[in-house]
Amino acid sequence: GFVTEHADVIARFRVTAPQAVLDRILHLLGAGAAYAVGVEYNYLGGDAQVATQVVLHDVGAALLLRDPIGIQASSADCDALLRLVNVHNILCATNLSSAHMLVHVLRRGVTTHMGDVEFMPSFYESLESPAVSAYKAKQTAVIAAHTANATKAEANRRTRRTAVRPSVEEERAADDALPHTQEGALDGAIDKQAVANLDAGSPTNIDSGSAATNDAGSPTTIDARPSLNIDARS
């Protein structure tokens, strides 16, 4: 009844409907039947197919006539489709009264050259609900806050590591200073040994390749490191 009454207007648009419904109204669409799109039954995912068209900005208006009395298994799918229709701010009718009014708006839009965009804005440009911009701004603020917290936490970790652990330059400087310190201590030990020998009246010689022999005839070798021998002979 509804499609038959308004076939002259509906035939001017590309119609998307469940294939079972489309088969019954196809003869009313005239030349527009070639562009009609059939989808699955609502129970088998037809609403999800239309929702995809909505997300792809391929729907200008929607006539979603639901049974207000009976309980349907596809109610959740229809609710999801209606939510997306509202998100993208698409012209929509959900009962016969609003559907008749919407068809009159469409008739005026396609039969006159005045106010086409004004009467059918969602056919000419992609729209969105004002709630979308508010949602995007909120999400941007949340992401920025998490990024700032992560950056601050990383800076604090680096500060703690720097305070506890010396830098690479400090470790290298300490390693370079260590051999010189040991060698200086060794030179001081040699000087003290020489002074002790002189006080005792014994000559002191420092050789690089011979062993020291004491009064008993046994060699005495004082090794500070593998490449250095200190000999004290009488």
pLDDT per position as a tens digit, 57-109: 999 999 998 888 887 888 899 999 999 999 999 999 999 999 999 999 888 88
- Comparing C-alpha atoms, which of 62, 26, 68 is closest to residue 46? 62
134 or 169, higher pLDDT:
134
pLDDT at 157: 79
Write the DSSP symbol of residue 63: E
pLDDT per position as a tens digit, 208-217: 444 444 444 4
DSSP-derived pairing of the beta strands 212-213 and 91-93: unpaired
Give dist(CA 223, CA 227) in Å, integer. Answer: 8
Give the CATH fold of the 2-128 domain.
Answer: Rossmann fold (3.40.50)
- Comparing C-alpha atoms, which of 9, 5, 3 is closest to residue 109? 9
* pLDDT surpassing 80 at residue 126: yes
pLDDT at 162: 64
Q: What is the rounded radius of gyration, in angstroms, for the C-alpha atoms of the chain?
A: 47
pLDDT per position as a tens digit, 110-122: 877 655 677 788 8
Report the interhelical angle of 46-55 vs 75-87 (nearest 10°). 10
* pLDDT surpassing 50 at residue 227: no
Q: Which of 8, 47, 187, 191 is catalytic?
A: 47
- Comparing C-alpha atoms, which of 72, 75, 80, 74 is closest to residue 51? 80
Write the DSSP symbol of residue 29: S
* pLDDT surpassing 80 at residue 49: yes
pLDDT band at 155 (very low <50, low <70, confident <90, very high): confident
47 carries an active-site annotation: yes
